Amino acid sequence: MSAARPPEGNRIEGREAEGTNMSYALHELTKESRMGAVGSEAAREVRVIDLSDFERRHAEIADQLWDAAVDVGFFQLSNHGIALDKVRGAFAMTERFFALPDAVKARHPLKKGLNAGWESRAQVRPSTGTPDQKESYQITRPHMEGLWPGEETLPGFEQTMLAFEAQAWSVAMRVLSCFAVKLGFAREFFTAAHDPSQPDYQSTLRMLHYFAVDPALRDQLGLWRAGAHTDFDCLTLLFQRSGQGGLQLLPGKDMDSQAWTSITPADELITCNIGDMLMRWSDDQLPSNFHRVKNPAAHEYQGARYSLAFFAQANRSVVIDSPSAKYPSITAGDFLQQRIAANFKKY
């Protein structure tokens, strides 16, 4: 497989970025703000990687993951070890949570910069300039004080979602162990960097509810369930439901084509993508990729869409050292802060 070519706007030479991390953030913003067009559709193969018999097949799976990641950038996992009833249980809780009145959810507002809590129509992507047509609730373990709805409001919610977060973390660490080996790091390098027992843990489970289309806004141009963006993290695991499509991807190397590929969701698969943090950590060998969730077209299902995203983001104090000194070192905390600041209009 040929070496990955990073997205045009993301190629920052070491010297250019030196001394200031801001130039990196600005590049990201400029890149995103060019991505608002509807574009066209293109068929691309989104590979399904089978994780069964993981220990014995580690080297083989690592090769497959690497090829899929540098090629199309998105891939799906089968036989990932999370039982289907656990995935469905997490979705059932997600629906119950979002069915609570806004006034109840508003008691648990998003904490500024911490990826924890509830927001509604507050995320404005640089690519669109309009709020995503969604609400979300984020779980980041060290920052949940005051954010749980409580047993009396939603019995079993905290326990179910924390157990699911732990399972998603395990799958993410397995995938990252494969990338670690391919990058020449120790196999558990990324597991140590995403340590949930530390107070500076900042991996996040995000519950997402994209609103059913308001008939008055049907087909309104310029509205997106999620505007085009790359993720900030190392690796994203996306749990989506069969029949609730809309996610589209655009590999960075094809950015100029604006030809997007729709991903077919399935309850038993996890859709994965590389984020900006791992792109930087790999000196751009592993590219992050643009993706978005489109509003349904007039002939498509107009109902609500739910998804669950686990963002593996290295603990705040972990230093991202560029393997070939292409980029200056930066802590994972500083790296993430820059990206969050560019994406929310309010908290």
Q: Which residues bind Fe ion (CB under 5 A)?
A: 231
Q: Residue 167 binds what, of ligand AKG, Fe ion, none (CB under 5 to 8 Å, by partner type)?
A: none
* Three-class DSSP category at 32: helix
> Whose CB is nearest to ligand AKG?
307
Q: Least distance from C-beta 52 to Fe ion, angstroms?
A: 27
Residue span 196-225 as binding mask against ligand AKG, x where in contact by CB under 6 A, dash where not: ----------x-x-----------------
Considering only residues 51, 62, 247, 312, which one is a binding residue for ligand AKG as defined by CB under 6 A?
A: 247
Q: Which residues lie below 8 Å from residue 161, measured CB to CB, with a gap of 6+?
A: 90, 93, 139, 205, 207
223 torsion bin: left (phi>0), alpha (psi -120 to 50), beta (else):
beta
64 or 244: whose CB is closer to ligand AKG? 244
CB of 309 to ligand AKG, least distance (A): 5
Question: Which does residue 208 bind out of Fe ion, ligand AKG, none, counting CB within 5 to 8 angstroms by kind?
Answer: ligand AKG
In the complex, least distance from residue 2 CB atom to ligand AKG, rounded to whole angstroms: 27
Q: What is the DSSP letter of 295?
A: P
Site size for ligand AKG, by CB under 6 A? 11
Burial group, residue 43, by CB count within 10 angstroms (0-12, 13-18, 19+): exposed
Q: Which is nearer to ligand AKG, 62 or 126 (CB)?
A: 126
Under the binding rule (CB under 6 A), the answer on residue 309 touching ligand AKG is: yes
**Does the protein bind ligand AKG through residue 238 (CB under 6 A)?**
yes
Nearer Cβ to ligand AKG, position 203 or 240? 240
Residue at 42: amino acid letter: A
Residues 218, 219, 224, 228, Cα dihedral to 10°: 170
Are the beta carbons of 177 and 190 closer than 8 angstroms? Answer: yes
Distance CA(188)–CA(173), nearest Å, equals 8
**Under the criterion CB under 6 A, does residue 307 sit at the interface with ligand AKG?**
yes
Using H for helix, E for strand and C for coil, what is the string for 59-123?
A: HHHHHHHHHHHHHCCEEEEECCCCCHHHHHHHHHHHHHHHCCCHHHHCCCECECCCCEEEEECCE
Chain positions contacting ligand AKG, by CB under 6 A: 206, 208, 226, 231, 238, 240, 247, 291, 293, 307, 309
